[in-house]
Amino acid sequence: MLVRAHENGVKKIVCIGTSHEDSLAARDFAEAHNDVYWTYGIHPEHASGVLSDVSNSGSRRSLPSPWAAGANPRLASLRTLLRSDISTTPSSKLVAIGEVGLDYHYEGYDRDAQIKLFREMLELARDNDLPVSFHVREAFDDFFEIVKDFPEVRGVVHSFTDSKKVLKRILNETDYFVGVNGLATYSTLPTPPLERIVLETDAPFLTPVPFRGIINECAYIRNIAEWLSEKLGEDFSTIERETTKNAERLYRI
């Protein structure tokens, strides 16, 4: 997959964590490969599971020890974990917190747990001076309300799938980048201005045209860039240069 990515002009890769275990796997992968970076995130769909694991010692899922003990164990031990990663590794490849956020799409979602976890992750991002990859689905009212309390936190609204009106609010009320991925190649989503776009795969999901139906991977960033070039009427090289610049600025890589 990395070879194919390089053959298609993808030089740097950010491997996104979506759960505690998954994030640490991303860390190990990043540490083993040049020009691969990682993020620490807990997807909002895991929010209630994480909280109940902490409050009941007979947990539903067994999480690794950083989650185990103390008054506010999750946040405290995560702080230690992330800080030690940043400070003991001068070339730490941890470049963001995320995916974190709010997702009210599926029935039975736990709004309170999601908000609590989201706020904690925003504190982590702020205290470690890291940007955030936001996952927000059908929850933008709460999202805008919460991020107001963290004006210093930078980020990207990943896989944006909402209306023109919401896109306008992101562009006008925040400095966030907006993640554009394969979904754009087969839907009618509003397109953000080039200076605010970060290209992403959201792999293994959302494979772009013409590869729909197979597993998504980094090499297909090229196809998303080609689509964007046509959509915006800009040279491919301009799209390549500008979206790379945005991603490098966001993640400081």
Interacting residues toward Zn ion by CB under 5 A? 99, 135
CB of 135 to Zn ion, least distance (A): 4
Tell me whether residue 157 or residue 228 sits nearer to Zn ion (CB atom): 157
Report the C-alpha gap between 4 and 7 in whole angstroms. 5
Residue reference for tokens 């950083």: 66
Tell me whether residue 22 or residue 99 sits nearer to Zn ion (CB atom): 99
CB of 155 to Zn ion, least distance (A): 13
Tell me whether residue 154 or residue 158 sits nearer to Zn ion (CB atom): 158
What stretches of 89-232 show up as alpha helix (H) in DSSP?
A: 111-127, 140-147, 164-173, 221-232
Tell me whether residue 102 or residue 240 sits nearer to Zn ion (CB atom): 102
Question: What backbone torsions phi and psi does residue 217 show, to the nearest 5 degrees?
Answer: -155, 170
Report the C-alpha gap between 13 and 177 in whole angstroms. 17
Tell me whether residue 15 or residue 240 sits nearer to Zn ion (CB atom): 15
Report the C-alpha gap between 69 and 102 in whole angstroms. 26
CB 244 within 8 A of CB 203: no
User: Phi/psi class of residue 159: alpha, beta or left (left: φ > 0; alpha: ψ in -120 to 50)?
Assistant: left
Residue 48: helix, strand or coil by DSSP?
helix
CB of 124 to Zn ion, least distance (A): 18
Closest listed residue to residue 99, CA positions, set 27, 148, 182, 40: 40
CB of 101 to Zn ion, least distance (A): 8
Residue 232 structure tokens:
């915006």
Q: Which residue is nearest to Zn ion (CB)?
A: 135
CB of 43 to Zn ion, least distance (A): 7
Report the C-alpha gap between 18 and 70 in whole angstroms. 24
CB of 56 to Zn ion, least distance (A): 27
Tell me whether residue 104 or residue 236 sits nearer to Zn ion (CB atom): 104
